[in-house]
Structure 1
Amino acid sequence: MNFNSALWQEIQQGESKTLEFKQQLPKGEQLVKTLIAFANTSGGKLIVGVADDRQITGIQTDEFELMDQIASIVHENCLPTLLPSIYLETLNNKTLVIVQVHRGSQLPCYLKSKGREQGTYVRIGASNRPASLDMIHELERQRLNQSFDEQIAWDFKLTEIDITPLEKAFQQRGKELNEQRLHNLKLIKTEHGITHPTHGLIILLGLYEHVEIKCSRFKGTDMTVFLDKKEYTGNLFYQLEQTELFIKNHLHLKAEILGLQRTETYEIPMAAIREALVNALVHRDYSNFGRDIKVGIYDDALNIVSPGGLPHGITLNEALQGRSEIRNKVLARVFKALGYIEQWGSGIARIQQLCQAADCQLPVFKETGDFFDIEFIRDVQPSAVSEGDQTGGQIGGQIGGQITESQRSVLLLIQNKPQISRQELAKALQINPSAVQKHIENLKAQGVIERIGGTRGYWQVKI
């Protein structure tokens, strides 16, 4: 057996999004479901003559009759017509029939006998799944080279929408968000003399219920016990900012002496985490209204999981090599205009480079079912402490360790923005202003913070 052959190595990796094994030719519809799923997703190969355990068994019938039979089944059962490549290869002196399908250009492909709504299949992991109506609509948009966020959001009236958060984001970067730019970025569209918002504008402003990030800090290495939990809604820039603060509050700090200066850095570079969060916000599937982004912090890892898998059927290997496919064109344009995206297709490479430069373990990128998962490996050395724990330790040495987790969150926000108001603290922490006031009074009484100046003054942390 040629152990160095590309086909042998491919088989040894097992069934996947783009590879399926059959010991013998499956029944007509079962064969076609697999080929349709490949065509609707990333393309792929069906290899006849390989068992599920990757053993090479070869085909037991006349290979040319089998190839003609496959061509006939595909022609009779697929719409639009699929034109697979059907060819032979030999491994271990045994003949294999390979049916290779490229990603379709006339999407969606479906089983003729069941019709488009019931007969469309997609590839999720190593299995074929019936496509939901949302998936079918997404395949149609891909055929037309459109994205969900470019389409008009008919349930919203432009006159009833406050775009102030978006205007502020542009102003902070010295740019004006006028009507012409709104049109150019496809945040609005005019039809029959009436201007409407697109899904992209509604998503950016966070007006859909499923546009949120759920953050959790778990005890240990599984999801059994929650230590902290927050759900962030509102415009995407606010969600990004608050999620970063949540993560900072639960990561370790490392101290180094560089020259005469003591510097503190997070165990995972925040620039890499920010890149991963932007990636999740820009590339997740917003057309499915039942899912959201989830951030999980464990003792040994930080996970950022976004719904939708990789866009437009690209494979994980292609994404790791820098191939760029944009699922949400409006969001991508806006985030690039605001400087959150440097170059198309550079996100994953940049995350890896930032972790490498910080002498951290490289993150793990996974496509699990219909989700994309970035896992950062945490520093679990006993000497490391989280920022919240470190604050508590410092305070504990001075005032007996009476700082609560909520008060640590207040301190972190004040450290990041000394001019922050009580109302802003309440909004960031998702608690009542009266509760914020109690935390502040407690911290002041313990000598941890001091107010400098009046209403236009700022907070000073005294630890």
Structure 2
Amino acid sequence: MRVEELLKRPEGKSLEFKQDISAPKNILKSVIAFANTAGGTVVIGRADDGTIVGVDDVLDAEERLANLIADSIAPGMMPEIEAVTVADKALLLIRVAHWPGPFYLKAKGPEDGVFVRLGSTNRQADAATLEALRRLHHTRTFDQLPCAGTDESDLDQAALQRWFAHQKRPLNVSALESLGMLTHQGGRRVASNAGVILFGTTEARQRCFPDARISCARFLGRDKSEFLDRQDMNGLLEALVDVPKFIARNTRLASRINGMQREDVSEYSAVALREVLVNAVAHADYALSGMRFFVSIFSDRLEIQSPGMFPFGMTLENFKAGVSRIRNRAICRVLREMGLMEEWGSGYQRITSSCRQGGYPELEWLELGSCVRVVFPSRLELSTDEPVRAATANDPVSEPVNDPVNELVNERQKWFLDQLKQGVPVKAEGIVQHWGVSPATAKRDIAALRQRKIIEFSGAPKTGVYRLKTKKESAP
């Protein structure tokens, strides 16, 4: 990425700006955090307000930084330090690759001196994170490790019989070891963490992973002030079947006319829901204490939250680009053999394709400290006082918004289209003022209409206007 483009980006998981090197310890923490987490770049010479202030005596500053990194960080690392010129100002770029560490600040020691990157901040690694970083040196992931205090009897034989019968494979000790459900510790055979998480008896799961369950809730409105329905699901494999059923009974079908036929339209893409659920179970951080999955349904959105940030060495940009990094090898293998996971790294593409083809709003992916949340904006945006039920033959059919368009839209989008039909040059600010929603929601409404080729923008960015597209223009 060109330096000019880098300077326009906000600080985040892989980017930090510093005005100068007057606080070297903070720079060192960022270098350590980038190396431990997913790599990144520290840009020196840019102020907090975005002003390019430059670095005085850049060669001397470069040498000081190189010496500081060599003397202050262990194990030894050699990040790339580069001097560049932008707007006649000299900047220093410290490009840090992700490497198995953990790297730490020598002055604080290998226990207290380890930092990781969470969002745009550096955080001291807690005990669980430190252990996860140390596991990167070994070939086995957390789910492949022995589950302390267990033996073969802690696996549910009935559940295993069902799974192996479905896969048309013989169930025996060798097969369980090959699958990673059994392993060895101290000369005896024990259940692995994956074995207990996926196939453990109820008692074993409660003892070893009491929070490895999915909590589902349907709320009345847009916040969590009042429940309409709730259910806890303790078996994760069973939950992959039961969660979609919970969602189906707590969301609604709408109808639209497609030619001469009436077509039912789900509030959320079934393909996207399945992919996000499977991805959550496959890549969750089961080493976190108190971890749990949440499926929260509101009147205007659905959220799926899983424990753990993205795996070390992985960023949201990597994920969207199709890069795959496996956190739980044994769990992923089971899901793949069940046909729930396909090619590594292809899930995001299937999600975006299903939403685009079905006319659903784009999903929002958020890394919030020690969890990842995926937000599904509602295609229908039910009001808070509407009953939640499945569509029936007596449900009203959605009427066309205007002559050239026969698409399902929410109330804000319908208002926006009506304004355009009347010749009013309305933009996102109009939706914000009229409906009292956030600018992000208004822009998302308009983006969905543009994506479905109902409207287009014409003219310069500041002075241009939106207009309705005709049926002929909207046709593929």
State the TM-score, normalized to the length of structure 1: 0.78
User: Retained in 2: the 8 A contact 1:251–1:387?
Assistant: no
- After superposition, the C-alpha distances for 1:343-393 in whole angstroms (9 at most, x for unaligned) are 111111111112222221222222232322211121236699999524799
Cα distance in 2, alignment partners of residues 91 and 343 from structure 1: 42
Q: CA deviation at 1:291?
A: 1.7
Cα distance in 1, alignment partners of residues 8 and 116 from structure 2: 23
In structure 2, stretches of 5+ residues that fail to align are 396-476
User: Retained in 1: the 8 A contact 2:116–2:122?
Assistant: yes
1:386/1:327 Cα in 2 relative to 1: closer, same or farther (>3 Å)? farther
Calculate the aligned-residue CA RMSD, in Å. Answer: 2.5
- Residue 223 (structure 2) aligns with: 222
Cα distance in 1, alignment partners of residues 31 and 381 from structure 2: 49
User: Retained in 1: the 8 A contact 2:46–2:53?
Assistant: yes
- Residue 420 (structure 1) aligns with: none
- Residue 188 (structure 1) aligns with: 182
- Residue 37 (structure 1) aligns with: 33
User: Retained in 2: the 8 A contact 1:253–1:386?
Assistant: no
1:264/1:180 Cα in 2 relative to 1: closer, same or farther (>3 Å)? farther
> 1:307 aligned to 2:301?
no
1:196/1:287 Cα in 2 relative to 1: closer, same or farther (>3 Å)? same
SS at match of 2:240: helix
Cα distance in 2, alignment partners of residues 302 and 89 from structure 1: 45
1:47/1:344 Cα in 2 relative to 1: closer, same or farther (>3 Å)? same
> 1:76 aligned to 2:81?
no
Bigger CA drift: 246-255 or 190-199? 190-199
User: Retained in 1: the 8 A contact 2:267–2:380?
Assistant: no
- After superposition, the C-alpha distances for 1:10-50 in whole angstroms (9 at most, x for unaligned) are 22111111111111104332221111111000111111111
1:194/1:390 Cα in 2 relative to 1: closer, same or farther (>3 Å)? closer
Alignment of 1:66-105 (within 5 A): 66-105=61-100
User: Retained in 1: the 8 A contact 2:155–2:195?
Assistant: no
User: Retained in 1: the 8 A contact 2:147–2:193?
Assistant: yes
Q: Count matched residues.
A: 388
How much identity, in percent, do the aligned residues show?
Answer: 31
In structure 1, stretches of 5+ residues that fail to align are 396-463
Q: CA deviation at 1:95?
A: 0.7
- After superposition, the C-alpha distances for 1:438-457 in whole angstroms (9 at most, x for unaligned) are xxxxxxxxxxxxxxxxxxxx
- Residue 117 (structure 1) aligns with: 111
Q: CA deviation at 1:163?
A: 3.2
The ranges of structure 1 where at least 4 consecutive aligned residues each deviate by more than 4 angstroms after the TM superposition are 256-263, 381-388, 391-395
Aligned letter for 2:112? Answer: Q
- After superposition, the C-alpha distances for 1:180-238 in whole angstroms (9 at most, x for unaligned) are 221111111134542111101011136110101111212222223322222221x2112
1:198/1:376 Cα in 2 relative to 1: closer, same or farther (>3 Å)? same
Cα distance in 1, alignment partners of residues 9 and 131 from structure 2: 32
Bigger CA drift: 7-16 or 218-227? 218-227
Cα distance in 1, alignment partners of residues 249 and 385 from structure 2: 11
Which of 3, 7, 23 lines up with 1:11 in the alignment? Answer: 7
State the TM-score, normalized to the length of structure 2: 0.76
> 1:20 aligned to 2:16?
yes
User: Retained in 2: the 8 A contact 1:22–1:48?
Assistant: yes
Cα distance in 2, alignment partners of residues 132 and 378 from structure 1: 37
SS at match of 1:53: coil
Alignment of 1:271-350 (within 5 A): 271-350=271-350
- Residue 163 (structure 1) aligns with: 157
1:385/1:279 Cα in 2 relative to 1: closer, same or farther (>3 Å)? farther
- Residue 232 (structure 1) aligns with: 233
Q: CA deviation at 1:170?
A: 3.1
Alignment of 1:120-131 (within 5 A): 120-131=114-125
Q: CA deviation at 1:239?
A: 1.8
Alignment of 1:360-439 (within 5 A): 360-380=360-380, 388-390=388-390
Cα distance in 2, alignment partners of residues 84 and 383 from structure 1: 53
SS at match of 1:246: helix
Cα distance in 2, alignment partners of residues 20 and 41 from structure 1: 14
